[in-house]
Amino acid sequence: MPDIQPRPHYHFTPAANWINDPNGLVHYQGEYHLFYQHHPENITWGPMHWGHAVCRDLVNWQHLPIALFPDENGVIFSGSAVIDWENTASFGRAAMVAIFTHNQNGHQSQSLAYSLDAGRTWRKYSGNPVLPSADGQRDFRDPKVFWYEGQADGHWVMCLTAGDRILFFTSPDLIHWTPSGQLGPIVNAAIGVWETPDLFELYVDSGPETRWILTIGVQDGAPAGGSGTMYFIGRFDGGTFTSENSEETLMWMDYGADFYAPQSWNNEPHQRRIMLGWMSNWQYANDTPATTWRGMFSLPRELSLSRTATGIHLVQRPIPELQLLRGNHHHWQDEIISPGTNLFAGIQGSSFEINANIKVGQDADGFGFRVRAGKGEETSIVYSPREQKITLDRTHSGQGSFHPGFSSSHTADLAPVNGNLILHIFVDQFSVEIFANDGQVTLSDSIFPAEDSFGLALFSKGGLVQLNTLDFYQLLKKPS
């Protein structure tokens, strides 16, 4: 069947049919591996496989054959991948090992598969499952595994979800697992089932102090409604994670509706923590407009930690490799934006990057950008100086009738930094991602505008706005 459905220019999509969670992110022999939840025969969720793609620059992906298929133990749910450099599992030195959830009629257990040819072919471990649930529970899944280098010796660590909590296990060999602790449940937290954990250590403001970050997908109760990703900051001793969050504090990675189940790469060669997520929401994921494929991933983000007046928080920035996409460039400096004028007059686009530094005063009621504007539709990014809030409004962004909650706006608190607002915005065919104030706040939404909705505007409401600098780049994937 010909691909009659337009595609994003630079966001990852499946070759065909359905994707959801990213899985098994690992770097090996110069390649970034991206596995993902995949239904190869339909554009809706169904019997899960692991799809597979690789690249060398986190931008230009090459699709590979399906890596893991359902078998006698069930379908293949989410998980992670590691390189077993020391052959602890006896599959072979430097084997690539996938650790994933088998789901058999709703009952879940953890299993292994391994590859000795850089992920091109896979063999399931004959002793699967290696970690069955103690009571056959339905929500016991999504193992994230990594090597922990202790003071005396190292060991493997697994964290996985069990309904409303995270369980931790340790192992010398990826096969035999011992319980080592848990986090949760959270008292009085109106959130859904926990999924897709990730656990990693980051420096605070470039060091030397560090903290551990535990990210968790929740199926319901996120700030924008439906599914979203929360995170905890704390300490990890090789077996148990201890959160420093208060019981009343829930911190969210993204305040848009479409950043879910994020995972980070193991073995990133530059010691960065790079993460990407699924740009959809379980409220409507099966219903978004689609013909030959459905689902896309966010841009890869580099994570760090920053200490603020309200504590330590996660910072997310677009990776510098995205500059490979840059084409035509426009630059402005020291401009005054007044109501009814448009700095972008004569400029259009469906895939572009905006990097703006704007002085925040009290003259205007609000200011921002309109993107993917066309006949009767637009997506708006609006900042309110008095309320110190940023809103990503897709109420009139295009197709939205497929779900009653889709055509909505999403808001986050955002105070100026030294009197200025910094907005780094990426727009593609079906998405808007905002990194505000150098990544202190992010909002990510999918949108479904008409193909010819190319309009673009920078606007102010109720007064003048001073633009310090603005850079606009057309973005288009180039041959790798």
Buried b / exposed e over 306-327, threshold 16 CB at 10 Å, is: beeeeebebbbebbebbeebee
Q: Are residues 306 and 412 in the same domain?
A: no
Point out the domain boundary residue: 274, 296, 318.
Answer: 318
Residue of 3, 21, 84, 220 marked catalytic: 21
Point out the domain boundary residue: 261, 290, 318.
Answer: 318
What pLDDT band is residue 63 in, cutting at 50, 70 and 90?
Answer: very high
DSSP assignment of 354-394: EEEEEE--SSSSEEEEEEEEETTEEEEEEEETTTTEEEEEE
What mean pLDDT comes out for the span 370-382?
Answer: 97
Q: Are residues 251 and 348 in the same domain?
A: no
Q: Are residues 209 and 285 in the same domain?
A: yes
**Residue 11, domain member (yes or no):** no
CATH (domain of 207): 2.115.10.20
Domain count, the chain: 2
Sequence-separated (6 or more) residues with CB below 8 Å from residue 175: 89, 112, 125, 127, 130
What confidence score (pLDDT) does residue 2 get? 46
Q: Are residues 22 and 130 in the same domain?
A: yes
Q: Are residues 262 and 221 in the same domain?
A: yes
Burial of 79 (0-12, 13-18, 19+ CB in 10 A): buried
pLDDT tens digit sequence for 401-431? 999 999 999 999 999 999 999 999 999 999 9
* Residue 437 to residue 424: CA distance in whole angstroms: 8
Residue that wins the pLDDT comparison between 31 and 106? 31
State CA 200 to chain mean position distance: 15
Point out the domain boundary residue: 318, 342, 365.
Answer: 318
Q: Are residues 430 and 460 in the same domain?
A: yes
* CA 79-232-204 angle, 5° bins: 105
Which DSSP category does 297 fall into?
B
Which residues constitute the domain of residue 420? 321-475
pLDDT tens digit sequence for 81-112? 999 999 999 999 999 999 999 999 989 999 99
pLDDT tens digit sequence for 159-186? 999 999 999 999 999 999 999 999 988 8
**Residue 109, domain member (yes or no):** yes
* Residue 239 to residue 246: CA distance in whole angstroms: 21
CATH (domain of 426): 2.60.120.560
- For the question of residue 21 being annotated catalytic, the response is yes
Residue that wins the pLDDT comparison between 449 and 189? 449
The model's pTM = 0.96
What confidence score (pLDDT) does residue 5 get? 85
**Residue 1, domain member (yes or no):** no
Q: Are residues 52 and 163 in the same domain?
A: yes
Q: Are residues 364 and 303 in the same domain?
A: no
What pLDDT band is residue 312 in, cutting at 50, 70 and 90?
Answer: very high
Q: Are residues 325 and 309 in the same domain?
A: no
Q: Write phi, then psi, for 130 (nearest 5 degrees).
A: -90, -20
